[in-house]
Amino acid sequence: MAKKPASSKTSAKSAAKLTPPVLAGADIGGETPHKADAIPPDADISFSYAGPQGPAGETHQSAEGDIATLTTQNGIPVADDQNSLKQGARGPTLLEDFHFREKIFHFDHERIPERVVHARGYGAHGFFELTDSLADVSRANIFQRVGERTPAFVRFSTVAGSKGSFDLARDVRGFAVKLYTQEGNWDLVGNNIPVFFIQDAIKFPDVVHAAKPEPDRNFPQAQTAHDNFWDFISLTPESLHMIMWTMSDRAIPRSYRTMEGFGVHTFRLINDEGKSTFVKFHWKPKQGLQSVVWNEAVKINGADPDFHRRDLWDAINGGDFPEWELGVQLFDDAFADSFDFDVLDATKIIPEELVPIRVVGRLVLDRVVDNFFAETEQVAFCTQNVPPGIDFSNDPLLQGRNFSYLDTQIKRLGGPNFTHIPINAPKCPMAHFQQDGHMAMHNPKGRANYEPNSWGPTQGGPRENPARGFRSFPDVADGTKERVRSESFADHYSQARQFFVSQTPIEQKHIVDALVFELSKVERPDIRSRTVSHLVNIDAALAAKVADGLGLPLPDAAVAARKPITDLPPSEKLSIVKNGPASFKGRKLGILVSDGADASILKALLAAVESEGAVFEIVAPKIGGVVLSDGTSVAAKHKIDGGPSVLFDAVAVVVSAEGASLLALDAAARDFVTDAFAHCKFIGISAEAEPIFSKAGIADDLDEACLPLMQPKDAGTFLKACRALRHWPRELTVDLDAS
């Protein structure tokens, strides 16, 4: 007789024990029958998909009340989601298990290609409201009626890092806005920096390849501090203006909420008469500009790689809706002709002092996404999406982008029907004869799928509309067909210098530090030296400091294609420090507490935080919180080693004598105060906190931005001081490079 297979050892009795429910404490539905009649047979179920919980109405009883019935994608109710179908309890899994097969197949196909650039991003919904009509210069529907709101979706991003990289990379930030106007979607796909690395789109693959991880080793991730990037930059002088911005604090924003957005290119507005006005678009944050410092950024990336997305999520869910003004710089051909630079050159700005900004609206973000993938990941921006009244200039970078974005979305989202995905679909009526393809959701009805046709208004489908439709501006162009760069694009250093001289001394120091940091990661001395040779053309002192920081002899100036203009006036608007917030509103105070901490001080501090419109988080030795001097308990948001001071805009230490002596022994508590001090933050210090500071070695260095919290009334004074965000003079005392 053949030997019995091993599986037969499992008795029917023990197998029965493994049937559902098997998860201790989990209520997975038990025996309740599926209500097959919950959807009436004549119901319109075309859009009744209610997410993974199953169609609304498909419920059964659980301990907590009605609960949706789990179904397959085809709506078939599932009885057991814990075990695959087997031939015997220890036998092989059966191909017949359609639920298992569907679940695993779907899982295997969950990923789509990440964006080739701007892979890591975070989006939110909101609206644009017109505050000043632009009807005089544009016939765009969105710009006609003051007070009218247009739905919006915004996606912020880093550029170089992968989807799973950290938020505080030193990098440009994407600021992409989709406006669902009544005449079609307008995608203003901008950045938080108003210029770009290159002038012609044909160089885009090169600059991106150079910035991304090196191809043989696949590192470094989300960093430009490596040879390939600086090799390309030092061989591409047109990038130098952008480099000044990316080496400034603009590239390490405190929050998406505290950065500007720029359309970068010159666009056109077209009015009812067909007249064209050039325009540059700006988003100005009502929150003011704010950045972190580099040493802080490095530590934030370890403490909370999701720092920016968490900040946006928390602010919106907390009802503190971020807001930006839309500003336009309008100018005509005469200005364009008289300007020192070419308005078609995306490596140049037009200083606000030359063409002032006219504020015409506001953008408010007031709703987080329901589902990250469906909305933030699948949103597809295309620069070519402009409604009638907005048009392109001949900027060769913009022209190239108009080609690239549609192509990239077709690849990334799997076919030409990505506009059928709800986040991409226009919210205005649309009608066309484009049909079929993968995942076609909106299929035309009627007999005709071509035009012209003879099927009349009801069956024949839509027709072009010369009165309302988009007409390209009839720009006149001539010239020979050739691969050439205009001479008017040849000045690469003048505006780089203008940016540098517009910075406050501390911001200039940060630019020097950033260049020294990045170039110190470059292995080849010739690349370091070649980069500095360009800085000589920007500012002699800047070049000398960077050369010194690298331990490098100062090289000769690089040969300039055109002699730089050295007397461009500084522009106030280019500095972050000069355009910071006037209050601590929306900022975060981290409060380190211990058992026995003075309750009256802590309560006064929390009241002051609230009246300032700020938020706080409690950091304690244990996540269970502390008991204050008056016996009240306070819950903690962070255990001390999970809530370092880099996560906060300012910190306070409110501890008892006993708490202070214990915390003084804890490296995380000492780092909490030394980092806050080194990052020039305002620090509130209660009477008993001194041992932590002295053990941390900074008790004798405390300055006027380290404020006492001796009595409750000190709390208000401290919070008011925090409005300045940083005490910059301290940086010169804590940074070796500054001496």
The first and second tokens of residue 17, run together, are 């024990």
Residue 517 annotated as lining a ligand binding site:
no
x-marked contacts with ligand HDE along 407-426 as a string, rule CB under 6 A: -xx-----------------
194 touching ligand HDE, by CB under 6 A: no
Task: List binders of ligand HDE among 254-273 (CB under 6 A).
Answer: 264
The first and second tokens of residue 573, run together, are 């608007």
- Which residues, in sequence order, are bridge partners of residue 281? 328
Task: Report the residue number, 124 or 647, with the smaller CB distance to ligand HDE.
Answer: 124
Told to judge if 191 belongs to the known catalytic residues of this protein, a careful annotator would answer yes
Contact pick of 140, 176, 360, 652 for ligand HDE (by CB under 6 A): 176
Query: Which residues fall within 8 angstroms of residue 206, CB to CB, at 6 or more apart?
Result: 198, 232
401 touching ligand HDE, by CB under 6 A: yes
Task: Report the residue number, 328 or 532, with the smaller CB distance to ligand HDE.
Answer: 328
Rounded Cα distance, 403 and 410, in Å: 12
Q: How far is the CB of 177 from ligand HDE (least distance, A)?
A: 9
Residue 412 annotated as lining a ligand binding site:
yes
Rounded Cα distance, 320 and 312, in Å: 9
Task: Report the residue number, 201 or 605, with the smaller CB distance to ligand HDE.
Answer: 201
Residue 309 annotated as lining a ligand binding site:
no
Told to judge if 308 belongs to the known catalytic residues of this protein, a careful annotator would answer no
284 touching ligand HDE, by CB under 6 A: no
Identify the helix (H) or strand (E) that includes residue 635: none
282 touching ligand HDE, by CB under 6 A: no
Q: How far is the CB of 179 from ligand HDE (least distance, A)?
A: 14
**Which candidate in 34, 99, 118, 679 is catalytic?**
118
Piece in contact with ligand HDE (CB under 6 A), picked from 143-151, 184-192, 686-694, 710-718: 184-192
Task: Report the residue number, 400 or 416, with the smaller CB distance to ligand HDE.
Answer: 400
326 touching ligand HDE, by CB under 6 A: no
Give the Å distances, CA to CA, from 322 to 126, 154, 173, 294, 613: 10, 12, 17, 24, 13
Contact pick of 120, 139, 155, 268 for ligand HDE (by CB under 6 A): 155
404 touching ligand HDE, by CB under 6 A: yes
Piece in contact with ligand HDE (CB under 6 A), picked from 80-88, 311-319, 401-409, 458-466: 401-409
The first and second tokens of residue 607, run together, are 């009241």
Q: What are the residue ranges of helices labelled H in 521-639?
A: 525-538, 540-550, 599-611
For the stretch 618-622, contacts whose Cβ atoms lie closer than 8 Å and that sit 24 or more positions apart, written own/partner, are: 618/591, 618/593, 619/590, 619/591, 619/592, 619/593, 619/643, 619/672, 620/592, 620/593, 620/594, 621/594, 621/595, 621/659, 621/662, 621/663, 621/666, 621/669
Q: What are the residue ranges of helices labelled H in 127-239?
A: 204-211, 227-234
Residue 256 annotated as lining a ligand binding site:
no
The first and second tokens of residue 159, run together, are 């550029």
Contact pick of 140, 152, 169, 201 for ligand HDE (by CB under 6 A): 201
Contact pick of 59, 69, 150, 157 for ligand HDE (by CB under 6 A): 157
The first and second tokens of residue 550, run together, are 């690298």
On whether the CB atoms of residues 330 and 137 are closer than 8 A, the answer is yes
On whether the CB atoms of residues 312 and 124 are closer than 8 A, the answer is yes
Provide the b/e sequence for 621-636 (b: ≥16 CB within 10 Å): beeebbebeeeeebeb
Q: How far is the CB of 190 from ligand HDE (least distance, A)?
A: 5
Piece in contact with ligand HDE (CB under 6 A), picked from 98-106, 188-196, 326-334, 582-590: 188-196
Contact pick of 69, 141, 191, 258 for ligand HDE (by CB under 6 A): 191
Residue 401 annotated as lining a ligand binding site:
yes
Identify the helix (H) or strand (E) that includes residue 326: strand 323-331
Piece in contact with ligand HDE (CB under 6 A), picked from 185-193, 295-303, 449-457, 644-652: 185-193
Task: List binders of ligand HDE among 489-508 (CB under 6 A).
Answer: none
Task: Report the residue number, 91 or 400, with the smaller CB distance to ligand HDE.
Answer: 400
**Which candidate in 141, 185, 191, 228 is catalytic?**
191
3-state secondary structure of 512: helix
The first and second tokens of residue 290, run together, are 């704010």
Task: List binders of ligand HDE among 204-223 (CB under 6 A).
Answer: 204
| Size of the residue set binding ligand HDE (CB under 6 A) | 25
On whether the CB atoms of residues 139 and 151 are closer than 8 A, the answer is no
* DSSP single-letter state for residue 325: E
**Sign of the four-CA dihedral 593, 595, 596, 599:** positive
x-marked contacts with ligand HDE along 94-123 as a string, rule CB under 6 A: ---------------------xxxx--x--
Residue 367 annotated as lining a ligand binding site:
no
Catalytic residue IDs: 118, 191
**Binding residues for ligand HDE (CB under 6 A):** 115-118, 121, 155, 157, 174, 176, 189-191, 196, 201, 204, 264, 346, 381, 397, 400-401, 404-405, 408-409
